[in-house]
């Protein structure tokens, strides 16, 4: 408990410090924000071109019908997972170290899913008919095909977005109220609205804490399901290299791994910028790093299994695929993924590294890159499936990179806005950790 909260920190301190992060932004922040908006605009323009002239602008080379877009889609969905894991699952486990970091990670989740949700629209051939994927009543009397993993995606992603967004907002209410009570003038009015007139009466707390618990309980299986569903986009297909039973757990582990990676990338600079080092400290990163180590090792195992199974199956299609992953024309991608994910994560066995923020930050960059490439490599299985005559190479081009860049801009934009507008540290949950002062001393 001691290390959760900075020693001799009072309730008032917590409120003060956190509310302090909501002040007017400095130049650095503004530049960052503008930068991310610019990136987003690049993506937007690229998208408009895709709609105008057709997907052909992107570097698609049959038989690889999916490329960077789906890669990035899966990447962002994955990022989301760490957030919900920390905020929901660790909440159920009453894990003390989560309180300081969960708000930021959960925000990350919501924005990551928002980013991911763009891709199903971007990557289809006739974007303007996207709504055909939804089961809405229409005069044709046509319904979507619920057997298609893509429809599962639609449901999984939209559910995931709604639920995690709700979870975030609900969690925010008391803290926004706290902020409100420190504010003056128009700010106060604004926060008053977002606090839904929260007062903190015993009745409010009674229903609130219960409801919050149930939300967490619902979100928990959701996290596990969403990336399983995404993994089935591949696993349900018959493509060698995709058609694997371990995909669901393997993807979920990967998702959390990549998510935590992103948490490092975001929090390490953030805590400095917002001067909340004393709230988010070594202790938290150490635990996060352990989580990374665990999921990283699961990935290690999964990779090993994939190769073993393909060899052991004696199935020539599988064998070819994995041989080419390691030694084919895209060997570099294959090894990037293995090194960044399976090997780099093993460094975290050492406490020294787990507690060295610079090291963690560097590693987190490797993780992000590695996990993007994992999806890229998986999709590259399409290059050499059953029909040798149709084999080909994938060749991303400016359009692919434009969209990728745009997605990062879009994500960063929202995250930055959030960090300055809402408490990135859960005020009331931290306070819960600090014992109330007593008149008659502690008993």
Q: Which of residues 249-308 bind other proteins (CB under 8 A)?
A: none
Query: Using the rule CB under 8 A, which residue among 208, 410, 418, 422 binds other proteins?
Result: 208
- The structure tokens 């639920």 sit at 163
Position 152 contacts other proteins (CB under 8 A): yes
* Residue 190 interacts with other proteins (CB under 8 A): yes or no: no
Q: Which stretch binds other proteins (CB under 8 A): 90-98, 235-243, 303-311, 339-347?
A: 235-243
Q: Which residues are paired to 249 by β-bridges?
A: none
Phi then psi dihedrals of residue 61, to 5 deg: -130, 105
DSSP state of 59: -
Only segment of 79-87, 160-168, 270-278, 330-338 that touches other proteins (CB under 8 A): 160-168
Is 87:105 a contact under the CB 8 Å cutoff? yes
- From the list 26-34, 77-85, 103-111, 153-161, the region that binds other proteins by CB under 8 A is 153-161
Under rule CB under 8 A, residue 186 binds other proteins: no
Closest CA to 117 of 74, 86, 57: 74
Query: Least distance in Å: CB of 230 to other proteins?
Result: 11
Contact between 147 and other proteins by CB under 8 A: the answer reads yes
Binding to other proteins in span 56-115, by CB under 8 A: 56, 59-63, 65-66
In 236-356, which ranges are continuous DSSP H helix? 247-273, 282-313, 316-327, 331-337, 351-354
**Residues 32, 86, 89, 222: which binds other proteins (CB under 8 A)?**
222
Q: Would you say 433 and 99 are in contact if contact means Cβ atoms under 8 Å apart?
A: yes
- Which residue has tokens 């690889």? 64
Which residues lie across from 61 on neighbouring strands? Answer: 64
In sequence order, what E strands does 214-254 have?
Answer: none
| Helices 68-84 & 357-379 angle (0-180, nearest 10) | 140
Cβ proximity to other proteins, 30 vs 158, nearer residue = 158
The yes or no reply on residue 144 touching other proteins (CB under 8 A) is yes
Verify binding: residue 199, other proteins, rule CB under 8 A: yes
Element (H, E) at 83: helix 68-84
Residue 292 near residue 367, CB atoms below 8 Å? yes
| Nearest distance, CB of residue 270 and other proteins, angstroms | 24
Per CB under 8 A, the list member of 37, 42, 44, 236 interacting with other proteins is 236
Instruction: Verify binding: residue 166, other proteins, rule CB under 8 A.
Output: yes
Site for other proteins in 389-428 (CB under 8 A): 389-392, 395, 427-428
Of 222-230, 250-258, 301-309, 336-344, the window that binds other proteins (rule: CB under 8 A) is 222-230
Residues 299-358 that bind other proteins (CB under 8 A): 316-317, 320
Alpha carbon 9 to its chain's center: 31
The distance of closest approach from Cβ of residue 165 to other proteins in the complex, given in angstroms and rounded to an integer, is: 10
Closest approach of other proteins to the CB of residue 43, in Å: 20
Of residues 348 and 374, the one with the C-beta less far from other proteins:
374
Measured distance CA(230)–CA(153) in Å, rounded: 6
Instruction: Report the largest interatomic distance among the alpha carbons of the chain, rounded to a whole angstrom.
Output: 84
Q: Residue 79, class by beta-carbon neighbours within 10 Å (0-12 exposed, 13-18 middle, 19+ buried)?
A: buried
382 binds other proteins (CB under 8 A): yes
């Amino acid at each position: 408990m001691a290390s959760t909260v900075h020693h001799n920190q009072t309730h008032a301190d917590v409120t003060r410090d956190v509310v302090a992060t909501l002040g007017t932004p400095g130049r650095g922040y503004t530049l960052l924000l503008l930068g991310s908006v610019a990136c987003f605009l690049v993506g937007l323009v690229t998208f408009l071109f895709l709609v105008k002239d057709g997907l052909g602008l992107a570097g698609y080379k049959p038989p690889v019908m999916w490329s960077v877009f789906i890669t990035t889609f899966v990447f962002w969905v994955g990022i989301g997972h760490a957030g919900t894991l920390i905020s929901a699952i660790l909440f159920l486990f009453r894990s003390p170290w989560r309180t300081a970091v969960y708000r930021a990670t959960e925000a990350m989740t919501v924005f990551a899913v928002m980013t991911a949700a763009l891709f199903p629209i971007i990557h289809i051939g006739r974007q303007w008919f996207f709504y055909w994927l939804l089961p809405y009543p229409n005069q044709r009397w046509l319904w979507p095909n619920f057997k298609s993993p893509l429809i599962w995606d639609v449901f999984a992603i939209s559910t995931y977005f709604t639920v995690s967004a709700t979870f975030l907002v609900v969690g925010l209410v008391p803290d926004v109220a706290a902020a409100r009570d420190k504010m003056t003038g128009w700010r106060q009015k604004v926060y008053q609205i977002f606090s839904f007139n929260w007062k903190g009466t015993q009745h409010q707390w009674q229903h609130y804490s219960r409801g919050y618990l149930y939300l967490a309980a619902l979100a928990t299986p959701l996290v596990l399901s969403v990336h399983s569903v995404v993994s089935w986009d591949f696993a349900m297909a018959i493509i060698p290299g995709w058609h694997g039973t371990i995909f669901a757990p393997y993807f979920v582990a990967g998702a959390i791994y990549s998510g935590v990676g992103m948490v490092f990338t975001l929090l390490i600079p953030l805590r400095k910028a917002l001067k909340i080092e004393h709230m988010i400290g070594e202790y938290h990163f150490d635990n996060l790093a352990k989580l990374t180590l665990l999921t990283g090792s699961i990935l290690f195992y999964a990779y090993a299994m994939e190769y073993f199974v393909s060899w052991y199956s004696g199935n020539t299609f599988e064998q070819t695929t994995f041989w080419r992953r390691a030694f084919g024309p895209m060997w570099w991608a294959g090894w990037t993924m293995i090194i960044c994910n399976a090997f780099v994560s093993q460094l975290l066995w050492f406490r020294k590294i787990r507690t060295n923020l610079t090291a963690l930050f560097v590693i987190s960059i490797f993780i992000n890159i590695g996990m993007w490439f994992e999806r890229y490599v998986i999709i590259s299985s399409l290059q050499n499936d059953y029909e040798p005559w149709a084999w080909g190479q994938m060749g991303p081009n400016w359009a692919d990179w434009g969209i990728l860049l745009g997605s990062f801009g879009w994500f960063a934009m929202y995250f930055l806005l959030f960090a300055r507008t809402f408490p990135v540290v859960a005020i009331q949950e931290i306070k819960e950790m600090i014992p109330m002062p007593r008149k008659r001393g502690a008993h």
